[in-house]
Each structure stands twice: as C-alpha cells, then as structure tokens.
Amino acid sequence: MNGRRWLLCLVIALVIAGFPLPSAALSEQRADLLNRELLYYQSTGDGFSAISRYRAGLASGEIRAGQEKWATLAARLYASWGLFNEANELYASPALFQTPEQRALNRFLLGKAYFERQHYAEAVAAFEKSGLHPLSKELEYQRLLLMGVALYQLDNFAASSSALWSIQPTSRQYPFARINIGMGSIRIGSWPGGISGLSSIKKRIGIDVEADPQFADRLNTVFGYLLLYEEYAGSKIAYGKVSMHGFTTPKKKGYKDAQEMLQAVSSDGLYANKALLGQAWIAIDTNELEQAREILEKLANKEPHHLVVQEAKLALPYVLERAGDASRAINQYRSVVGFFDNERNRLDALLQQLNSSELDTALLTMRTGSVARNPLTAYLPGMLLAPLWERLLGDFEDINHLRLRLDEWKKQLAGASSTGSGVSRQSVMSDLSRQQVALDDLYRRTVQLLRKQAGEQLTERRSRISHYLNQARYGLAELYGRQQHGGVDAREAFLAYHAYLKEAPEVSAEVRKHIIGRIADLEMELGEEAAEIAPAAKVSGVTAYLAELEKSPQEASNEDALYKLARAYEQQGETAKALDALQKLIRNYPNSTYIAEARFRVAEGLFIEQNYQQAATTYDGILNSKQNNAYYYHALYKRGWSLFKLGRYQPALDDFFAVLEHYDSATDAKEKANQELYADVQRAINMCFVNMKGPASVSEFFARNKHHQYIETVYQSLANYYLAQERFSDAVQTWSIYVQNYPNSQDAPRHLLGIIDTWKQQRFDKNLVAAQERLINEYGLHTRFWASHKLEQFDDVRAALKQNTRLLAEHYHIQARATGKQNDYLQAAGWYRQYLKNYPDERDVAQLNYLYAEILEEAGQYRDAIAEYLAVVKKYPQFVRRADAGYAAVLLTFQRTESGPVQEREQWRKQSYETALNFARLFPGDGRASDVLLHLIEERYRRTDYLKAIALAQQVVNQGNMQQKQKALLIIGHSQFETGKYPSAEQTYRTLLQTGRVAKNDRREINKRMALSIYRQGEAVKKAGNISVAVEHFLRVRKEVPASSIVATAEYDAAAGLILMENWPAVIDVMERFREEQPGHKLQHEVTRKLALAYLSSDQPARAAQEFERLAVVESDAEKRSAALWKAAGLYDNSRNLEQAAKLFSQYVKEYPAPFDVAMEARQKLVALYRKMGDDKQRDYWRKQIIDVDKKAPVSNERSRYLAMTAALEMAEAKYRDYRAVQLFIPLKKSLRNKKKLLKQAIDAYALVAGYSDAATITRAGYQIGEIYYDFSKVLMKSERPRGLNEEELEQYDILLEEQAFPFEEKALEFYRSNRIRITDGLYDEWIRKSLDRLAEIFPARYSRPEKQDAYIESLQ
C-alpha cells in the first residue's frame, strides 16, 4: 500500500505542478478547478466520471484538444482507469511525443499506470522502453524500482535484483530497492543474501525511511523475525556468512538484536501485533516466561480473527504450562480449543456462503469498508496484499460504477426526446440494453474469480486454524493428571489425543508412539467408557501393544508391554489371556519389577474364577515368601476371603483381624484406598459372626481370643451390618448385649442411642419410649456413670439425654391430651421439670418452660401454671412466646376470678388486676394488652371506680387498635359523665364519634349522653347566674345532637333564658323552631305563651294576637282561655284587624256571657268596632243587645245602665236624624204619613232614653221630643201649598194646616215646660236652657225674660 500511495502523490504532484499554464479557452482559475474536479473523480475511483467530464469539456470547448497539459492529464486518466490503448495513443500523440525526454517520461508514466493496475508484464515492457531514453536521475531510480518490483511480482527475481541493484545508495529509492532485493533472496532460498540485503537497509533506516514510519515498522518486523528464526533454528551458517553486520558474532546476539528491532516497531502501527508476538517468542525461548505471558495475554484479547492474535492465543497456555501454572494452562487450552473449533466452523460456513451471492457485497466493500466489521474480510486481510486481488477488486468496483451509471441513464432517458439532437433515442436505448448484457456478464465472471480467490485464502486459513486446534488439543491432553481439582480428566484427554491423531498432519513416529501409549493407558483407566466415548477410534491399546510385541519380540522393553497387555486383557474381561500374559512375564522375566504383582494377579485370577482352594494356596505362597513384598497384606486379606468362601470362619477371622491390626498400626493405613479395604475387612468379620451365632458368638470369640481393642468396633460394626440387612432386632440385641456386658464402657450409652435411633426409625414407639427412659434412667446426669466419666467428653450423649428428656416430655404431653389421664399429665410435667432443671441454659428452655406451664394448666394446677407462665415472662426476655405466656397467666387469673372457689375469688381478682396491669406494661405493643386493659376497665367501671377506669382507658387509647380505642373512649366518656365532668365527657364522646364506625347501640347511648353532658353544662352555668352562657349550651344541644330527646327541653330552657335576657327575636326564633320541630311536645302551649309574650314585647300585636288566639283554645283553664281570647280580640283591634277583633269579641260574648260586666264591655267593643267598620246593622244590633241585656239583667248596675242608655240615646239620635231627613211635599198625605211614622219612632226612642231616668239624659230626651213636635208643627205650616188654590182657598188651607199643627206645638210646649219645671228640682243643664229658649221663642212675652238668679251665684262665677 505504501507504494501505491507514494505513486499517487507523485502523480498528483506532476499533475498540479509540472505543466505550463493554459492559454486560451479556459481561464487559469477555471482550468485549475476543472483539473481538481477530474482529480477528485479519479481519487474516488470514479474513472468513468473523470473521463466523461474530460470529454465533455473537449466537446464544449472548455478544453482545447491537443494541448499538452490536457493531453497528459487525459492519458493519465485513461491509464488509471485501465484504458491503456487510449492512454498509449495520447502519449504517442504529437503533443506529447516531441522530445526523447518527453517520450521517455510518457513511457514511464504508462508503465506506472500498468503497475498501478497490477499489469506487471506490460509495466515492465513500458519501463524497459522508457529506459531507452534518458530520464532525470530520480525518475530513473523510480523507474528501476517499479520495474524491479514488477519483475519481483512476476517471480523474475534475478531480473528484479538486477534492476534494483542499479539504484544508487544516494537515491531515496535505495532502501526500497534493498529490501526487495533482500526479500527476493529469501524467496529463492538465499537467506544469507536476504539478510545481507535487509541488514544494509537496517543501517539506513534512520536516514532514508524516517519519513515513512510504516515502512520502518515493516522492515524492523521482517528483519526481527528473520533473526528470531535464525536464532531459534540455531543456524550458525547464516551468522557465519553474514559477519559484516555486527549482530552475527559467535556470541549469538541474535535474540538481542531481534528484540531491539521488534521493540522499535511503533505500538500503534500495522506491525505492532506482529512485533509483540515476535517478542513473546523470544521471551519464551530465553525463558522469560512472565514477560512472555504478559505480552501474550495482551495480544490474546485483541481482534480474534487476526492471525497474530490466534497464534498468541495458542502460545499463551504453552507459556502458562511451562511456568508451572497448570490450572490456568488447562483453562486456556480449553478456551482456545473451543475458540479454534468455532472459528473453523465459521470458516466452513463462509466457504459455503462463497458459492452464493451473499458475500458479493462484502467483496465489493473490501477495499473501502471496515475490515473489522466484515465477517468475510476479517479473514481475508492477506488477500488485499495480493496484487491479483487488488486488481480484481479494482475491476469489480469499476464494473459496479458502470452498472450504476447505466441505471442512471435509463432513468434519465425515460423523459428525453431525440428532437434536434441528431441522436436516435431508440438506438441509444438499444445500446444500453447491449451494454447491460455485457456488464452483467463481466460482473458474473469477476465475481466468480473473486470467489475462487477468496475460497483459496479461506481454505488456507482453515488449514492453519485446524493446525492450531490440534496443537491446543495435544497440549491439553498432555496436561492430563496435572491438576488435582478441575484438571483435565481422562475422558477429555482421551478425546483430545484421538482428535489429534485423526486430524493432525503427519507426526513423527516418536510422537505417534507416545500418543498411542497414552491412549492405551487412558483406555485402561476408562474401561468400557472408552469405547462409548470414541466408538470409531482406530487406535486401541491392546492392539497397539500386541503390534509392539510382534514388532520386536526380544526387546527388553517387552516386559513393560507384557504387563500392560495383561492389564489391558484384564480390562477387557479376558482373564485367561491376562493370566497367560502374566505367566509369561513370570516365566520370562523372573527378576522383573512386576514379579510380585504378577504373582498376586495370578492368585486374583484364580479367586475370580472361584477356585478358592487354589487361590488360598497361591496366597499362602505369597505370604510364605521371604520377600518383603507390597502384596503381603492384600494376599492375607484375600486368603481370609478364600477361607470364608470355604466356610472356615474361625481362621478367616484370624486373617481378617491380622489385616486390621496391620492397617491400624501403619501410619498411612487410613489412606483412601486402604480405607475401603479396611471397611471390607470389617464387613468380612461381620459376615463371619453372622454365619456363626450372631452377637453371642462375638462374646465367645473375645473370651477366647485377644484383639480386645476391637470389641467395641466389632459390636458396633455388627450392629450396623444387621441394620443394613434390616435385621433391627438383631442390631438392637447386639447393642443391648454390649451395654449389658460393658455398662460402664464409654460406648455403652452410645449403643443405647443406637437402640433409640433404630426404634425411632422403625417407629416402634413403645420400644422407643422404653429405650429413652432406659437411657435417662441409667445414664442420666444424676446417675453414677458420670462419677467415672467426664461429661464434656460426651457431648453426643449429653445432647441425646437432653433431646430424649424433651421427647419424653412431649410424648407424655401428647398422650395426656389424648387420654386425659392425670398420671400422663404428671409424667409430662415431671419430664419437663427435669429438663428445666438439668438444661437451664439450653436455647429451647423457654419453649419447654412454656409447655410445662401449659401442662400444669391442663392438669388443673392453676396456681403453679400461673407461676410458670409468669416465670417464662420473667426469665426469658428473648422468647418469642413470652407475650403468650403473659397473656395465658392473665387469662388464667381472670378465669379463676370468675369461676374459682368463691372464697378465693377476691384474692384472684386482686392478682388478676396486678397480672393484667403487668402484662399491659410489659407488652404495650401486643394487641391483647389493650383487651386485657379493657377487661380491667370494664370491671372498674362496673364497680363505679370511674377515675381508675379513666386512667386505664387512657392507656388503651394510646396503644390499642381502633376497636379497642373506641371501647376505651366510651368508658372514659361514661366515667366522665358519671363524675359530672360534662365538658370532658362531651369532648370524649365527640372524639369517639369522630373515629367513625361506632356500633349503632353505642352511638345512640353516646348521643344521649353527649346531649345530656351539654345540657348539664347549661344547667350548671344557669345556676351560677350566667344566663347567656347557659343559653349557648342549651342551644348547642340541638346543634350537636339534633336527634337527642333532650333537645326540646334544652330549646325550651334556652328560650326561657332568652326571655330573661329579653332577647325577643331570639326567643321567637327558638320557639318557632320548637313549635315546628316538636309538634306534639307537651310544652307546646308554653311555647305559645312565650311566643305571645315575645311578640307582644317586641311590638308585633298581630303575631301576638295569633298566639293569644291559640291560647284561647289550648289553655286548660277557662279563665285563662277567656282572658287570652279577650287579649287576642283586643290585639287584633289594635293591629286594625277589625273583622278578626269583632269575630273574637263576638265569640267572647257567646262563650263567656258571665261575668256580665265583661260581656257588656265586649258588646260595647262590638258596637264600637262595627261603627268603625261602618256596619250600622251590626252596630245597632249590638246596641240593641246592650239595651236588652241590661233590661233583662236581674241585677243591673250603673255601668250597664249607662251603656244601655248611651246605646238608646245613640239610637234615638239616629231616629231623630232619620225623621229630620224626610221633607213634606205634595201630595202631603203620603209624605206626611212617612214623616209621622218617623216622628213616632224618634219620640219612642227618646222616650226609651228618658225611661232610664238619668238626670243628664232625661232633660235631653225631653227637649229632643219637644223639638220633634215643634219641628213637625213648623214643617206642617211651611209645607208646600197645593198649586192652583186661590187666596181664599189658600187661607182656608192655611187655617186647616194651623189646626193640624197646633196639637203638635202644644205637645212640644208640654215637653219644654216639663224641662222648665225640672229647674225646681234643682236641675239645670243645656237642655233645660234650650227648652227655655224655645219657650221664649214661642211665647216671647211669657218666657222671654231672664231667669232669676241668686246673687251669690253671680258672685261665685
């Protein structure tokens, strides 16, 4: 890639700076811009657009044809796009082919174009032609370099070297030339030459390639690796020949120099990882394993598809293994086996996909896309380095560009017409179709080629990964057995070896033999499993060893093969063949290290074949051998078994006990393998005794033999044996005999435990209880056994004693509950008591104490039960059921208080009080505490101890739940009420009601009491004289408790208070409300009274009248009723409700005729009312009534008479006015008759008045009668004369009238005179005076003189 970039820069430099200025068509700036536009297209790989734009410029005249600058540019564009013929034509055109130098340059440029598109043969040809003419020195070196590289690519290393050697050391191209020379040498196998060439560059790196660090990195990496390889391979030849470089001295500084070079590689460049891997290998080979590990771990975590990273992954476990870290090495090997297996599968999948089109897009973006993101390209970075790939990918891109362009044209042409262009749209469309076919064909062929190349690359990587995979498997298998825990197991190693042999490329015979040996060993170890794991395995241990024996029958190493063969046969179950092999081994190699084992195995073979007698004899042989062999005790053990099989138990037991003694005396006797054997020997001993007489024979055996140290073991083992056989009674009998024989043995109680466990497991409850009781009775803490034993050495026994004591207590507890027998209760209580006494510090003692209390309670021992419950509370503050215990004590005391013997109840009551209070104090958070308190509270309340009840209830309010709180509040309220604390009671009741959800009955009572509380407050205040506050309380009753029955009373009392305060509007409000809300209340009439008063007092006579009218009905007392009626009538009169007033007075007269005077006054009122109302008829009716009643009254009085007389006078006056109103007119007869009639009526009326003989009215009546007569006489005289009378007739008529009038005048004179006469009676008033005046008027001479008056009268006046 460096070369390409460098060439591109060169070309750009040439294009931009190396040409003269344009002259005509295009300005300099425009030309520059166009130039850069073309460059842009070219740089983006869009050669088509570049050339198209150029040709368009030519067509439009922007670019003048034949100009050197543009021709050069065009040639380059054509060349870089792969149109070399067109480029060549331009380079050969006159504009560019004028001088030899120009021609040389053209060919050089053409060569470069060929080179860039990897047409190396054409490139070489062009460069060779270019070399025919002189070029500038640096261009010449470039030519040589490019030609050298092209020849290198064509594998013509000699010619390449020749060209490259022509470059002088002073040239900038020299380093590039030398490295290619060096590489070429290596390619042809000339390592010394390669190193020589490269080393010369190494010296120059600092000078010539400093501007290209990537190149330096590459050089250092390659060089470092070469040195590494040389050092690793121990190639002394190379160093010897290449002594000129300083690092190849006989002291072998190769690693050091390689290290330096690799360390010089920059850590972020392309070669960083390669350099690191090289350093890791150097560290490995120089045993700097820690350093190697660090480098490899860093590398192993990088991009996993990178070859270097994959190598590092494989190398890391190798380093770990060498460093002794087998555990991590194993894990790492496993990890990389998995990784490489996955990667191989992934590559297989990719290879499959290559045949489809799925990866074509990936191929297309390989040159431009991100390698890491592309699954295909992740494995193909090497492809990009290959020239063919580069060229193919470039072509592929071009083809795709053209296809896109074709699509654009099709769209463009859809709306185009041929008008005026001279080009047929149809023909263009046809051309497009042809092009499409051609392009598609090219596309397909290129893709096929790409796929083929990619396939080759991927196959190569697959092969490499397979190799890594097998290396990892081999490494893993070799680590088998290296780690105790978590290491490689036999299966894994077996599989890994098999996989390795199956997949790995050819391996050396030595390695192959090693692997076969390992597989055979593992086969034996795995047994039948091996065939299951690898059924198709071609390599078998047995066949492999037979092959070895056949290959060289006389070899000393066959001793080993024979031994393994025998084992292999044994493994396969071919015992006879195995024995045969062993016999051969014994025969042919009597001094073999395997000889003892061989003999033992022969005996074992006989045993397996059930030839016990011969086996016993063979074992005898081993045992009798003087040789101190490792199989002695195994043989002894197996002889014991052989004798057992032959029914010879006694000698068998001797052998078995001898084996036991041997292993017990050996320091490593308890190793795992021997432990199994040891157990088997015990089993054999057990079987011997079982086949004899069971536990009885044990006693007999030890009575006769030694081995007393095994007495306990044998009993225990035998018991266990019986247990395993489910012969429980035999097992129990074995233990029991032991306990009986050795009661003071430290194992005796433990054997009893065995008995207990057995009965427990078998659920023989009766036996179990007996055994438990036996244990405690014989080995309880109180027994003599402990006088000779230390309890602290018997933790298990102590625990069992404790547990069984508890179990016994529980057993009898349950039994007591079932049977109800007092004895069982007492038994249970006794065990509990014993437990509490012996194990006071145990964790469950609190629970046991609680149960103890319960059993006492159940047994009816209440006092003790309460004491124990309280003891639980006191002694075990952490006990979870402590509150339960406290509560149980409380309940029990309550219960005793209610149902205990009468004489004890008071005492119980006191105790219950204390117990309950204590409970509430100790367990305030317990829900039952409040219940307990409530119980006490109710009891206090019942006993009218209200203050105490309140104090306790307050506690419940503070801590109880809602229901409890309500109960407490209720009692507080009631208590406060009962003690006259009405404000507090009211408040408490209110609080209670606010808590909600109060029971209906309670609510009713609460309301009642609350109302009463308020009312009582009013009463108290009223009593103290504070009426207004009292009224407020009374009024609150209705407001707070509207449904209370006391509301009416309170309201009434409030009204009464308000009356006292003369707050009439308020009184009216309250009473009106009362009337409405308490319609049937007995105080309703009082309300009416008060309302009447209030209305009266507040000057509302009409409303007051209504109230009095009501009273006139409802008052029970007639006097009150009449008075109310009178008052009502009067108030109506005052309020101008005349009709109602008249109605009520009339009612009054009717209902209350007596007393007479009042009734008369009522009549008088009626006269007045009707007068006011203008109802003359009614008025006169009542006047008449007055006159009549007075007249008829048995006993009249002055007032009555006055009223009657006044009525009569008024009536007379009325009659008089009626009389006067009538005029006389012609015909006189008719009017005269009417007038006369009225005259008579008026005179009668006055006569009536006169009848009352009242001095004041009698003169008036006399005068008025006189006046009537006198008037009549004058009216007659002045009456209208009939028309038509002559004078005489008129005179006659007048005379006749005088005659008629005269009597009337006389009558008048009579009455006037009678008044005059009354003067003599001492009367003189207005009417007498008027009468005298009238007499004087009629008889002036006679009466027209002043009355004689006494002088003193004058003087008095």
Site for other proteins in 68-107 (CB under 8 A): 81-86
The verdict on 40 binding other proteins (CB under 8 A) reads yes
The residues in 415-454 that bind other proteins, with binding defined as CB under 8 A, are 416, 418, 421-423, 425, 427-428, 431-432, 434-435, 438-439, 441-442, 445-446, 449
The three-class DSSP label of residue 1280 is: coil
The verdict on 232 binding other proteins (CB under 8 A) reads yes
Query: Residue 77 or 1092: which CB sits closer to other proteins?
Result: 77
What are the DSSP calls for 821-880, one per residue?
-HHHHHHHHHHHHHHHHH-TTSTTHHHHHHHHHHHHHHTT-HHHHHHHHHHHHHH-TT-T
The verdict on 509 binding other proteins (CB under 8 A) reads no
The verdict on 922 binding other proteins (CB under 8 A) reads no
Name the token pair of 903: 């004489």
Query: Residue 80 or 767: which CB sits closer to other proteins?
Result: 80
The verdict on 119 binding other proteins (CB under 8 A) reads yes
Q: Which stretch binds other proteins (CB under 8 A): 395-403, 535-543, 1023-1031, 1158-1166?
A: 395-403
The verdict on 874 binding other proteins (CB under 8 A) reads no
Min dist. Cβ of residue 307 to other proteins (A): 6
The verdict on 1029 binding other proteins (CB under 8 A) reads no
| 2, 99, 101, 121: residue in contact with other proteins (rule CB under 8 A) | 121
Min dist. Cβ of residue 318 to other proteins (A): 5
Min dist. Cβ of residue 385 to other proteins (A): 6
The verdict on 391 binding other proteins (CB under 8 A) reads yes
Q: Which stretch binds other proteins (CB under 8 A): 279-287, 860-868, 983-991, 1007-1015?
A: 279-287
The verdict on 1320 binding other proteins (CB under 8 A) reads no
| 7, 52, 1181, 1193: residue in contact with other proteins (rule CB under 8 A) | 52
CA 1166 to CA 1163: how far, in whole Å?
A: 5
CA 736 to CA 740: how far, in whole Å?
A: 6
The verdict on 305 binding other proteins (CB under 8 A) reads no
Please name which of 638, 573, 651, 641 lies closest in space to residue 603, comparing C-alpha atoms: 638
Min dist. Cβ of residue 535 to other proteins (A): 30
Query: Residue 84 or 894: which CB sits closer to other proteins?
Result: 84
The verdict on 2 binding other proteins (CB under 8 A) reads no
* 906 CB burial (10 A radius; 0-12, 13-18, 19+): exposed
Do 1276 and 1301 form a contact (C-beta atoms < 8 A)?
yes
The verdict on 307 binding other proteins (CB under 8 A) reads yes
The residues in 581-620 that bind other proteins, with binding defined as CB under 8 A, are none
The residues in 470-499 that bind other proteins, with binding defined as CB under 8 A, are 471, 475
Per-residue CA distances from 1148 to 439, 686, 1156 (Å): 138, 137, 12
The verdict on 323 binding other proteins (CB under 8 A) reads no
Name the token pair of 1314: 């009678």
Do 501 and 518 form a contact (C-beta atoms < 8 A)?
no
Residue at 212: amino acid letter: D
Do 1029 and 1002 form a contact (C-beta atoms < 8 A)?
no
Residue with tokens 């002694």: 875
Do 686 and 721 form a contact (C-beta atoms < 8 A)?
yes
| 23, 27, 725, 783: residue in contact with other proteins (rule CB under 8 A) | 27
Min dist. Cβ of residue 506 to other proteins (A): 11
Min dist. Cβ of residue 135 to other proteins (A): 25
CA 1151 to CA 1115: how far, in whole Å?
A: 14
**Alpha helices, DSSP H only, in 1078-1117?**
1084-1097, 1101-1114
The verdict on 158 binding other proteins (CB under 8 A) reads no
Per-residue x/- mask for other proteins, residues 187 to 216, rule CB under 8 A? Answer: x-----------------------------
Number of residues that bind other proteins (CB under 8 A): 102
Query: Residue 81 or 1148: which CB sits closer to other proteins?
Result: 81
Min dist. Cβ of residue 27 to other proteins (A): 6
The residues in 362-381 that bind other proteins, with binding defined as CB under 8 A, are 368
Min dist. Cβ of residue 519 to other proteins (A): 19
| 4, 18, 30, 943: residue in contact with other proteins (rule CB under 8 A) | 30
Query: Residue 388 or 1255: which CB sits closer to other proteins?
Result: 388
Residues 6+ apart with CB under 8 A from 1045: 1008, 1011
Query: Residue 433 or 1045: which CB sits closer to other proteins?
Result: 433
Please name which of 813, 878, 809 lies closest in space to residue 846, comparing C-alpha atoms: 878
Q: Taken in order 699, 701, 706, 712, is the CA torsion positive or negative? A: negative
Please name which of 40, 48, 43, 44 lies closest in space to residue 402, comparing C-alpha atoms: 48
| 274, 313, 638, 639: residue in contact with other proteins (rule CB under 8 A) | 274
What are the DSSP calls for 190-239, one per residue?
-HHHHHHHHHHHHHHHHHHSTT-HHHHHHHHHHHHHHHHHHHHHT-HHHH
Do 543 and 519 form a contact (C-beta atoms < 8 A)?
no
Residue at 362: amino acid letter: A
The verdict on 43 binding other proteins (CB under 8 A) reads yes
Query: Residue 191 or 1327: which CB sits closer to other proteins?
Result: 191
The verdict on 742 binding other proteins (CB under 8 A) reads no
Residue with tokens 């009225």: 1238
The verdict on 455 binding other proteins (CB under 8 A) reads no
| 387, 651, 694, 1251: residue in contact with other proteins (rule CB under 8 A) | 387
The verdict on 229 binding other proteins (CB under 8 A) reads yes
Min dist. Cβ of residue 403 to other proteins (A): 10
CB atoms within 10 A of CB 1150: 10
* 17 CB burial (10 A radius; 0-12, 13-18, 19+): exposed
Min dist. Cβ of residue 246 to other proteins (A): 22
| 22, 39, 568, 894: residue in contact with other proteins (rule CB under 8 A) | 39
Q: Which stretch binds other proteins (CB under 8 A): 181-189, 705-713, 1232-1240, 1292-1300?
A: 181-189
Phi (first) and psi of residue 939, to 5 degrees:
-65, -45
Phi (first) and psi of residue 1195, to 5 degrees:
-130, 105
Query: Residue 221 or 1279: which CB sits closer to other proteins?
Result: 221
The verdict on 912 binding other proteins (CB under 8 A) reads no
| 109, 167, 295, 315: residue in contact with other proteins (rule CB under 8 A) | 315
| 395, 560, 986, 1040: residue in contact with other proteins (rule CB under 8 A) | 395
The verdict on 228 binding other proteins (CB under 8 A) reads yes
| 60, 591, 1001, 1357: residue in contact with other proteins (rule CB under 8 A) | 60
Whether a cis peptide bond, with omega within 30° of 0, leads into 387 is no
The verdict on 409 binding other proteins (CB under 8 A) reads yes
Residues 6+ apart with CB under 8 A from 913: 936
Min dist. Cβ of residue 111 to other proteins (A): 14
Name the token pair of 267: 């850590």
CA 1142 to CA 1120: how far, in whole Å?
A: 20
As a three-state string, the secondary structure of 534-591 is CCCCCCCHHHHHHHHHHHCCCCCCHHHHHHHHHHHHHHHCCHHHHHHHHHHHHHHCCC
CA 380 to CA 903: how far, in whole Å?
A: 110
Min dist. Cβ of residue 391 to other proteins (A): 6
Query: Residue 421 or 899: which CB sits closer to other proteins?
Result: 421
The verdict on 161 binding other proteins (CB under 8 A) reads no
Residues 6+ apart with CB under 8 A from 32: none
Q: In the Cβ-directed half-sphere of 1057, how many Cα atoms lie within 13 Å?
A: 24
